[in-house]
Amino acid sequence: MKLVIGGSGRLGKALCAALGPHNTLAPARAVYENWWQPGMDATIEAFLTRAPQPIDCIFIAAGIIDSRASAADHERVNFRLPEQILRAAARCHIRVVTLGTMMELISCGEPPSAYAASKRALARQVQTLRQDALHIRINTVYGTVPPAPYMFAGLMLKALVTHSPFLMSPGNQMREYHHIDDEVQAIIALAASAQAGVINLNHGAPITMAALAHRTFEALDALDLLRIGALPAPTNERFDLEYVRPFLLNGLNFRDALTAMPSYMRECVSAS
């Protein structure tokens, strides 16, 4: 039995669907929302040991990615909650998969964003505990449902729907955009391996954000809205990061974002 914490979120729902209802336990948020608090060890262990079927792996998909959330919220949900579960799972000898972000490596601001800081702390915790746990740094996902309005794709969608100029930086930042169905299959493959510690979930073919925006607006006949270079380049990001595909993912296929993103955005515009 796989336990998915955060099963009501975008990634959590996709994980549950891919794992299958007969192999997945996804409790309501009310069950685990206080597990981040000190002194919840017995409560968490009781839940893990009294599940209808033995739990062999926990996926922690709960998290906050919105930069507008407070630092306290990022720490509570992105670090304290999985930290408590990791400790309880170690005592119950259950494998844990936590989900981080490539922004842990991309962000070089001082101080780092609350989001990057909370995920970096979680990665360190997984490495420190030296248990059967894997911290997977994922890339930006798209597909299935409309993008969050504060994400790059969400901002593109707003411009396309409202026929407003889309102002962006020179867009030299390298990124990998992964379709959520591809990402979930990769997460499941990594979880099923013997890998522990920290791993980057890359397919190894990054693109610039400028290329992604240009191809998307071009495909939707809206190039006149695109303003590449209207905003300054970010100063708190690394531009030299290498994206290397782990050998464990060599057998998996990832959709080409330069083709799939425009198609996805067209569907989102039609549904708006």
Q: Which two tokens stand for residue 240?
A: 């030299």
For residue 252, give the nearest of 195, 188, 165 by alpha carbon: 188
Q: What is the CATH number of domain 1-138?
A: 3.40.50.720
Which residues are 138's β-sheet partners?
101
**Per-residue tens of pLDDT for the chain, all 272 residues:** 999 999 999 999 999 999 998 999 999 999 999 999 999 999 999 999 999 899 999 999 999 998 889 999 999 999 999 999 999 999 999 999 999 999 999 988 777 789 999 999 999 999 998 789 999 999 999 999 999 999 999 999 999 999 999 999 999 999 999 999 999 999 999 999 999 999 999 999 999 999 999 999 999 999 999 999 999 999 888 888 999 999 999 999 999 999 999 999 999 999 98
Domain locations in the chain?
1-138
DSSP conformation class of 176: -
Contact 215, 45 (CB under 8 A): no
149 class by beta-carbon count within 10 Å (0-12 exposed, 13-18 middle, 19+ buried): exposed
123 class by beta-carbon count within 10 Å (0-12 exposed, 13-18 middle, 19+ buried): buried
Sign of dihedral through CA atoms 150, 151, 155, 161? negative
Phi and psi, residue 58, nearest 5°: -115, 125
